Structure 1
Amino acid sequence: MTSLSPRIRIGSAPDSWGVWFPDDPRQVPWRRFLDEVAQAGYEWIELGPYGYLPTDPDVLARETEQRGLKVSAGTVFTGLHRGPGVWDATWEHVSAIAELTRATGAGHLVVIPAFWRDDKTGEVIEDSSLTAAQWRDLTVQTERLAREVRERYGLRTVVHPHADTHIDTEENVARFLDSTDPDLVSLCLDTGHYAYCGGDSVKLIETYGERIGYLHLKQVDPAVLAGVRAGGVPFGPAVARGVMCEPPAGEPALEPVIAAASRLGVDLFAIVEQDMYPCEPDRPLPIARRTRQYLRSCGV
């Protein structure tokens, strides 16, 4: 199959190696992740949870360059719907990660909203729906964050709809996009999370194409998802059940997503993320190799 677009750049992330936290004995060491992501055929990576990879820019540059790897983005978690009172703590967290992201030469900052229930225990932390005032805080403060990140660090903010957050379903994603400035705020479309929450990725790309700034490629197992929905299972335990699966076994089909993204005619990163926490250390590499081969068959 001929390439659909030379402008879609494929990568992977620590998430695909079962890495969710800066330090956890069940996770693979960071050097092993870097070795294996390069062995699997990927050129681009994300930083993952801040502190997992070295935070010294010189050390990180040396370790990535010697493996032929480059960084596409950093990632932050925010709770901006909680109002201006959280700004200072949020900015302290974001600025450290944005500084490292810029130092790597990456151009994107992936912003994930706060969970409304604990992803480990399932404890409900706050209401799953936002009030009108909270929506206002979320959108206004996200724009402020995006403006500061762009002006100070030259990074493009891409907001990541995520299961068990307030930016999740088609309705909430559309509301968020319609309420934010397209010049400041773009979307990181995670195909797995969007399907997990009932969304259609191809339809979203076709409807809000100018807002798509970044992709995470992921699939859900529909049978596992049905059980998760029926039981009201939180996202963390759902991942442990295998709700995110190896392509092409799940949904959505990725070739139509890649084709729709290609038709936008813009440069995009498409980073593979198969949530697998926790997982056995020898499991990720074979999956990563097969996934990279599968994506080549999809034209990228």
Structure 2
Amino acid sequence: MWFPSDPAQTPAERFLSEVSSAGYEWIEIGPYGYLPTDPAEFLEQMERFGLRVSAGTVFEHLHREDSWEDVWKQISDVAALTRAVGGEHIIVIPEPWRDHRTGAALESPELSAAQWAALTGGMDELGRRVLEEYGLAVQFHSHADSHVGYQRDIERFLADTDPRYVNLCLDTGHVSYYRGDNLELIRTYPERIGYLHLKQVDPAVLDQVEAEDLTFPEAVRRGVMIEPPLGVPEMGPLLDAVAALDRDIYAIVEQDLYPCAPDVPAPIARRTHTYLAGCGTAALEIGTPRGTV
């Protein structure tokens, strides 16, 4: 789910039921307020559907002036709930420079040197505090229409942040959205791969994105995110490369579909689960977050 509340999204209880019936065991908390924010109520729902929590998810805008208090308030709310319900990670996504719904430009797509330093320094401080105060690991998630999207941005971010406090949620779809090489990132930065979001993109729609300078919301409406094995990156080699890291890594399955008819996600979730089960994923913990698939 993209938003805490939106009639174009799958209702929370239906999401949980369909995730469970499709065979998944793990979810993320997603937008704060989409699922219960009371830990007891949340855990009751998880037990009802046989699910567990791997992580909480938040957006950040630390490159902006005087942003720390606002970002930390979101982080602390989500981190407290995540810890209370058994999660181990906080996924931090850079706030897109375009509006989530309309795609309208909200700020420059480029950061100044000072803004970049504020982002990376702020992420180090955020990661340190989340680890020390909540015992959770921060994983940074590159994103389309954000200031950390292209592979060069991801590599620069990793070079400028402290691996003790910040590592990478490798979202295979968002990396491929900008024609990045997921395998190269895994092989070059094996120690920085802390978490996975598994998704594929449709190269034909990517051609439209580039030719027409499409916003991410419009690209999603045109079907840029597509169920495997119909898109890129190829899942088998990628999962083999992650398994070769020889450590426990959560793998969350996604497909951005907003907005879509309510009957669309569940069959995709079932087919994707079946497909990934044949891609050597035994070493990975597979789940699905926020009703995105």
What TM-score, normalized to structure 1? 0.92
Instruction: Kindly indicate whether residue 212 of structure 2 is the aligned counterpart of residue 231 of structure 1.
Output: yes
Correspondence for 1:71: 53
1:259 aligned residue: 240
Q: Which residue of 2 aligns with 1:147?
A: 128
| SS of residue in 2 equivalent to 1:37 | helix
Can you give the 5+ residue segments of structure 2 that lack an aligned partner in the other structure? 282-293
Letter aligned with residue 90 of structure 1: V
Q: What is the number of residues matched between the two proteins? A: 281
State how 1:1-300 maps to structure 2 within 5 Å: 19-83=1-65, 85-300=66-281
Q: Any idea what SS the aligned residue of 2:57 has? A: strand
Structure 2: which amino acid aligns with 1:173? I
Q: Deviations over 1:179-228 (max 9, x none)?
A: 01111110000000000012100110000010000000000000011111
Across the aligned residues of Structure 1 and Structure 2, the Cα RMSD in angstroms comes to 0.8
**Equivalent residue for 2:289?**
none
**Inter-partner Cα distance in structure 2 for 1:93 and 1:108:** 15
Question: Counterpart of 1:63 in 2: which secondary structure?
Answer: helix
Q: Name the SS for the 2:101 alignment partner.
A: coil
CA contact (8 A) 1:119 1:234 kept: no
User: What corresponds to 2:286 in structure 1?
Assistant: none
CA distance in 2, matches of 1:67, 1:133: 47
| Offset of residue 38 of structure 1 | 0.4
Distance 1:229 1:245 in 2: 17
Q: Aligned AA for 1:101?
A: T
- One-letter amino acid of the counterpart of residue 46, structure 1: E
1:5 corresponds to: none
- 8 Å contact from structure 1 (residues 111, 160) kept in 2: yes
* Aligned structure 1 segments of 4 or more residues deviating by more than 4 angstroms: none
Q: What secondary structure sits across from 2:255 in the alignment?
A: coil
* Rounded Cα–Cα distance in structure 2 between residues aligned with 1:139 and 1:120: 26
- Distance in 2 (CA, whole Å) between partners of 1:203 and 1:28 is 35
Is residue 213–residue 268 contact of structure 1 (8 Å, CA) maintained in 2? Answer: yes
3-state DSSP of counterpart to 2:63: helix
Per the TM alignment, residue 131 of structure 1 is displaced from its structure 2 partner at its CA by: 1.1
CA distance in 2 between partners of 1:221 and 1:140 (Å): 35
1:82 alignment partner, SS class: coil
Gaps of 5+ in 1: 1-18
